[in-house]
Amino acid sequence: MPVESTQTLRRGQVAVTPYYCEENIYLLCQQLDPALTAHAVFISNAQKEVPYWCQRVATGPEGIIFWDYHVVLLVKDPDSGATWVYDYDTKLPWPCPARQYFEMSCRPHMDLGPYQHSFRAIPHQDFLDHFSSDRSDMKRPDGTWQSPPPLHPLLRGPKAAHAHTLPEFIDMTGGIGTVLTLHELMEMFCNYVTP
The catalytic site residues sit at: 21, 70, 87
66 in Cβ contact with 37 (< 8 Å): no
d(CA 177, CA 182): 15
> How far is the first Cα of the chain from the last one, in angstroms, to the nearest whole number?
43
3-state helix, strand, coil in the chain (%, to 5): 25, 25, 50
* Cα–Cα distance measured from residue 109 to residue 76, given in angstroms and rounded to the nearest whole number: 24
